[in-house]
Amino acid sequence: MTRVIIDTDPGTDDAIALIAALNSPELDVLALTTVTGNASLEDATRNALGLLTGLGRSDIPVYVGADTPLVGKFEFAENYHGPGGMTTPLPEPESVPSPIPAERYMRDLARGSDGHLTIIALGPLTNVALAIQNEPDVMRQVKEIFVMGGAVEVGGNVTPYAEFNIYDDPRAANVVLDSGIPIKLVGLDVCERVAFGLSDSDWRSGTSTGERLAARIMEGWFEIHPEYDRYVLCDPLTVAAAIQPDLLTYRRAEVTVDENGEQKGRTRAEYDAGDIRVAVDVDIERARQLVLDRLRTAD
């Protein structure tokens, strides 16, 4: 099993990703750390706690992270994920977050982990960057970070150049990319190709708690987005990449992020010039099926 911390800004696709991660025997989910992004830190944290309660997993600890990026202010994405970052009511949380800040928890787990800790980052990279800034040598003990972020050969989803997680804290993205920690960058180049369609019946027909919760979230999403006929699985694909290493094809590159100006948040990759592994291809059907399978909870 891979010991993981999932850093997240739930967010509808985060929620789908978390259901799948918690149902994957390959992953030992040690904790969730929350970060502002799709919604305010308060809403993202409440969504994380409510989701865990709904899955009967209030045993998973939650650590609260950053409510401001390294520079500037966060922009939310409630226009996409719904008011408060969610499209369906989640249960009242049974648990409360830990008083330990998220970045400190990451450092505490990384210290002595000696390559036995993986981070899956599904939101802006502020928490991870703060941990690196505070204890770079400790954080370099992290085995690898799967980052949902970036758009290299394709356009962005916030601006024509920038993907949301990177756009919301570009300075943090550069800190993480420069850290020397092995990184797999799962960007729009691959994740926009993996989706559940409005007309698909498979994601609607499950009867387990996890499948029904995921279906409610996505049905609610399609209701507020009549302009879309497919629900893109960016965060779930990032979890899937941590489950099945050969799901994605990667190319090594040096990756830098524009921090200012019209192209703020743009991820520029120079292939074969660095050690960031940029996902450049995906086994679409296998990825989609894996996510679908892992929504099924053993009720």
Binding site for Ca ion (CB under 5 A): 9, 11, 14, 122-123, 235
- Which is it for strands 195-197 and 230-232: parallel, antiparallel or unpaired? antiparallel
103 contact, one of ligand RIB, Ca ion, none, CB 5-8 Å limit per kind: none
Establish if 123 lies at the interface with ligand RIB (CB under 6 A).
yes
Report the nearest approach of ligand RIB to the CB of residue 84 (Å).
14
Establish if 211 lies at the interface with ligand RIB (CB under 6 A).
no
Three-class secondary structure of residue 147 per DSSP: strand
Straight-line distance from the first to the last Cα atom of the chain, in angstroms, rounded to the nearest whole number = 21
259 contact, one of Ca ion, ligand RIB, none, CB 5-8 Å limit per kind: none
Report the distance separating Cα 266 and Cα 162, nearest Å: 5
Establish if 11 lies at the interface with ligand RIB (CB under 6 A).
yes
Establish if 18 lies at the interface with ligand RIB (CB under 6 A).
no
Establish if 14 lies at the interface with ligand RIB (CB under 6 A).
yes
Could you give the string, one character per residue 226-265, with x where binding to ligand RIB holds by CB under 6 A and - elsewhere?
A: --------xx------------------------------
Residue nearest to ligand RIB (CB): 164
Report the distance separating Cα 130 and Cα 125, nearest Å: 9
Would you say 164 and 204 are in contact if contact means Cβ atoms under 8 Å apart? no
Q: Which of 33, 38, 256, 267 binds ligand RIB (CB under 6 A)?
A: 38
85 contact, one of ligand RIB, Ca ion, none, CB 5-8 Å limit per kind: none
Report the nearest approach of Ca ion to the CB of residue 122 (Å).
4
Q: Which stretch binds ligand RIB (CB under 6 A): 11-19, 55-63, 126-134, 282-290?
A: 11-19
Report the distance separating Cα 28 and Cα 205, nearest Å: 27
Report the distance separating Cα 26 and Cα 19, nearest Å: 14
Q: Which residues in 148-177 contact ligand RIB (CB under 6 A)?
A: 148, 157, 163-165
| Stretch (H or E) spanning 270 | strand 267-271
In a 13 Å sphere around the CA of 147, the CA atoms on its Cβ side amount to 33
Q: Burial, 216: exposed, middle or buried (Cβ in 10 Å; 0-12, 13-18, 19+)? A: middle
Would you say 31 and 69 are in contact if contact means Cβ atoms under 8 Å apart? no
Task: Write out the residues near ligand RIB by the rule CB under 6 A.
Answer: 9, 11, 13-14, 37-38, 77, 122-123, 148, 157, 163-165, 234-235
